[in-house]
Every structure is written in structure tokens, then in C-alpha cells.
Chain A
Amino acid sequence: MQKLESRHINVHYGTTQALKDINIGIDANTVTALIGPSGCGKSTYLRLFNRMNDLIDGIKIEGQIFVDGKDIYEKGTNVDSLRKNTGMVFQKPNPFPKTIFENVAYGLRVNGITDQKFIEERVETSIQQVVLWDEVKDKLKKSAFELSGGQQQRLCIARALAIQPSIILMDEPTSALDPISTAKIEELIHELKTKYTIVIVTHNMQQAARVSDHTAFFYLGELVEFGITKEIFTNPKREKTQNYITGRFG
């Protein structure tokens, strides 16, 4: 059984079709990169896995998404617990207007955990996981806005890890960061792979090549090619893929 699977996914925003019949299976403990030019539907696709698209008015979703073999778009699905099992990292660092500690503790608190000692331990391990502990351990009570952009993004990853998800969705997590912070996050993705299933949307070809095991190339709402990253980048089967990864368009 695959960790994540989409079957015949069609998504419409009003009259425009954003995704056309997407079928992908993603194994546990792998990194899958979603690439393609802007507006190709890769972010929309990513956000299907924790039902973030539900918030958008006038969206119509057809098909099935399986997480651990269960269709999450079936009636009666508990969306909150689905999201608790799925960490999400966004394009820009988006810490809450709270202290560093409270940012990471947030996911635990909203899920009803009140044991302060447990929260403290979980916050510490989560921040250690993203290699931020030494930088922030003395200022946990300070506002998260005082951190640099790269630190904020790692804090946001720690925030996602604190609720111990099995899946991490990343929507262009390094697009607002400098090269050094980007390198740190990529390194982190490598380490996290052993524990989590990661899906990452990226505009950066090199990043996709560096961090992912599988790559899916989207174009105008269609899945053009999906396969092992090495093959996609060295020996793509479709001409469109070849043109995109060599920078001829997009």
C-alpha cells in the first residue's frame, strides 16, 4: 500500500479546470517534488492532501485521494485529525504573532494537550529536529518575528513537526530565503525523510534534483511526467519535460 495516492483527480475553480485526471502514488519515507511553471496546478495538487482547498470558494473536487489507504474526501472524514497527521510548510515563513515557544506549542494546544511538561519536551525535540535549538534556546519567550527569515522558516517546520505528523507538505519552502538558509532546509529535508513522507512544490530545478526521490512535472493542469528524479532530469521521456528542465520555457 502506498502512503499517498490520487486517483482520477479533477479540480475546477469555477469554470476553469485546474487539474486534469491526475494519478500518482507516493511511497512512505520518500521525497516527491512537484515541478512546473506557475499556474500549472502543482500547489493546488499539494493542498489536496490535507484538504486545504476546502477553504476556497467555488472549488469542485472530483476523484479520490488516499492517505494510508483511506479516501480522505469521503463523507465523515475528520478533517482536523487528518490535518494533525499532515504538517504543512508554506511559501513565506508565517510564524504566528506569538513567542517562539508558543509557535511550536500551538499545534499541541489546539489539539487539546494541556500537560505543560509534555509540551515543553515536545517543543524542545521539535526545535532540535530542525537544528534551531542552539540559536533560540535562550529566547523562547521572545516574539517569533525577531528571528531571521531562514530561522522563521525552520521554526515553521518545527511547528509542523511538533504534532508528529507522518506526512509533510512543503509549498515552495525556500522561495523567500537566501542560499545559505535554503541549503540548511534542504539538508533538513534529507534528514526528515527517514521519518516522514515529504511532498515538496518547488520552482527551483536544482532543488528538485537535489532533494527528491521522485518528481512530478505538471503543465497546464496535466501531469506530463512522473518518475524517479534521476531519470526525469537525465533522460525525460517527454519533450515538454526536457524543454522545461533545460530552461527553454517556464
Chain B
Amino acid sequence: MDKNIVFRAAAIIIFLVLPLLVKSNYLLGILIIIGLYTIIVIGLGILMGYAGQVSFGHAAFFGLGAYSVAVLSTAYRWPTFAALLAAVVVPGLLAALIGRPTLKLKELYLVLATLAFGILVHIFFNEAREITGGPSGLTGIPYLSLGGLVFDRDIKFYYLVWSTVLLISLGVNNLIHSRVGRALRAIRESEHAAETSGIDTASLKLQAFVFSAVLAGLAGGLYAYYVTFISPSPFGFHTSVLFVLMAVVGGLGTFWGPLLGTGLVVALGEILRWAVPLAIPGAGGEYQIIFFGVILVVIMIVKPEGLGSIIKFSKKSVEKGVR
């Protein structure tokens, strides 16, 4: 337990000092993206690791958050807080709509529903030109401004995103050690046993799903403010699979899993972007995905609990919560 606190304090210090050491905007940008994806993967990790469900449509919730901010802050001039609220509410409501009937059934139906939903939303981003600007997207998203503070530089955004990650991580950590967390774990171990013990499994799984969509929407809203220009391409099916990969690589149901998995997958993506064209001349970005596919298969066969489980003490702290 003490070791855990030391570890977390060290992580917070690293988080505070890192941007001062990183001089390149490229690296700072990657750190911001890792932070944003980590928010999504934390939610997906709860859905997968605790509620035992998987979604192949989280890029759509991410995109819905981003488009909510983009549309509302440009065409309707909504202030930051209101636009971000919409970025959270819109995906949350849609998740409740899909999740409510499908989560009562066996697990594969949510997979199919999220898969279909993800592709449909992506088609919508491309086709609803009047709202979304079609394939060319939307530009001119204003800077995020909260209480007179304008986040117009990467370094400010870095602190905003990573403070959000920290707050969510701590909140989720508390949640997992609460009654709700124990109930969710019970569902993962055995849904029948959980139900017999009086846990409303369908309702809890729905809450976990909606919560994960809300986090994805929040990350999307922040993403739109960060890049100030959005198009449909980052919100396709491949991104959804990448989120699942990040959750799986880091390990499900661990404190460090989401950060670890996201960091590794984003770093690998960047390395592949350099390395693949050297190995296969004329290769485009599509080739990266082969590696991700193979890694996903290998991890699921060899170590389905993810690489995060290597960090023993964080897992122990989770187990402590059970008792």
C-alpha cells in the first residue's frame, strides 16, 4: 500500500516536470494525445475489465464528443463549459439508448450493436454535410476557455488534459474500491452468482457502458478544442479497435493499465510510422494496422489479462478491495 502511494506520487511529479524537459512540440503533442486516449481507455477498461463487456464503437463516442464541441462552438457560439457538457451528454444518451436493450442479453449483442453504431456514426460524419462538413470536416474551433483562462498553447493543454486524467483515475480508483466496484467485479467473475447475490447486473453493466461513453465524449470534446479542426477520419472503426488494443495491452482492471497500454500503443504507432516505409517502400499508414492486429491476437492468447498484470503491487491493492 505504501509502495503504491510512493509510486503514484512519483508519477505525479513526473507528470508535472515532464513538459519542462520535453522541448519538442511533436513530443508534447503526443503526450497530450496519450492523455486524451487514456481517458477513453480508463472507461473502456471498466467496461471490459469489470463489467465483462467489450465495445467496438468507442471511436464513435469519441467522435460524437468532438463533433458536439465543433458544431456548437462554431455555428452556435456556445461557451466552453456548455459545449463540453454537450460533448458528454450526447454520447451518454446514445450509449444508454443502445445499451439498455442489448445489455440485458448475452454479451455478443453489445459487440454487434456497438460495431454497427460505430460504422453508422462514421457514415453520418461523412454524409451529413450540412452539420458535420462531410469528409472535409469543420475548422475554426475556438480555444478552450474556462473562467477567463484561455488554453491557447500546447503546454497549457498538457496540464489541463493530464489533470483531468489524474482526477478521473483517482475517482475511478475510489469507485472500484466501493460497493459499486465490488458489484462490478462480481459480475465479471460470475454473472449468475452476482445476480443471485441481489446485484442488478443489467443496470450496473449499463451504467459502466454509459460511463465509458461519457469519458470518450469528454476526451472527444477536449480533442476538438486541442486540434481546432476535425474531420471524420480519426473516428472510424480502426480507432475503436485501437482503443480495445490499448485497454488489453495495459491490462484490464488495474490502476496503471490504461496509461501503460495507451502509452505503449501510441508509441508503437509512431515508431511504425517511421519504420514501416523503410521496410516496405511505398507503404502507407494502412500497414501499421497489421502489426496491431497480430499483437492483439497474440496478447489475447498468451496473456488475456494484459501486460499491466506484471505490475504486481497494483493488482494486490485491487484484491485488497475485495476483502
The answer to whether A and B assemble together is: no
Chain B interface (Cβ within 8 Å of chain A)?
Answer: none
